[in-house]
Structure 1
Amino acid sequence: MPYHKNKQQAFQAAQQGMEDAQELYHEIVRDSANYGHQLKHLKQEVNEAYEQIENALEVASETQRTQLEKFQQDLSAIVNEVNQYH
């Protein structure tokens, strides 16, 4: 994904990345035959979301920064939850 200089675009990309990661996390069925594949996909989404958040933080307004930091905390919670099942 290209780096966004525009604050709003960068924030929206980070927000979308966060939503994608959360949606995938909620879809994972732990006892599913596809769990390993789903987990790999989730890790990719989380990594992309982290990257988008970092990019957005470089140009974020103070209000956006607060929300972006919340996104980072939410992603950390997802990673911690997933790691508990391994």
Structure 2
Amino acid sequence: MPYNKDKQQAFQAAQQGFTDVQHTVNELVLDGGSYGSQLSHLRNEVNEAYQQIENALEVATDTQKAQLQKFKSDIETIVNEVNGQQ
């Protein structure tokens, strides 16, 4: 049972990391004076989310792996969109 709990905890951490990235993107103010610091915060959130996803992929079930790959793909899309706005 502890192994399954670890899988679930790893997945939930990755899911939370993805949610944090989405929230940070939604908070970006493109024409605000603090855009640079917001962008830096987003980069940190993205890096953390990627790490959490990679960690979770190591122990994930097949169903979780599919969702984790979707999180990863969605984050890549977010990063590309933000980079296009600069």
Q: What amino acid maps onto 1:80 in structure 2?
A: N
Pairing 1:26–2:26 present = yes
Q: List runs of 5+ in structure 1 lacking aligned partners.
A: none
Shift of 1:71: 0.1
Larger radius of gyration: 2
Give the structure 1 partner of residue 50 of structure 2: 50
Cα shift at 1:23: 0.3
Deviation at 1:44, TM superposition (A): 0.2
Calculate percent identity across the aligned residue pairs: 62
Secondary structure of the residue aligned to 2:49 is: helix
Compute the TM-score of the two structures, normalised by the length of structure 1. Answer: 0.92
Amino acid of the structure 1 residue aligned with 2:41: H
**Partners of 1:32 and 1:60 in 2: CA distance:** 40
- Consecutive unaligned residues of structure 2, counting only runs of 5 or more, are none
Give the TM-score taking structure 2 as reference length.
0.92
Report the secondary structure of 2:59's partner residue. coil
Matches within 5 A, 1:1-86: 6-86=6-86
Aligned-partner residue type, residue 35 of structure 1: Y
**Cα displacement (A) at 1:85:** 1.8
Give the drift of 1:34: 0.5
- Judging by fraction of residues, say which structure has more helix: 2
- Aligned equivalents of 1:45, 1:27: Cα separation in 2: 13
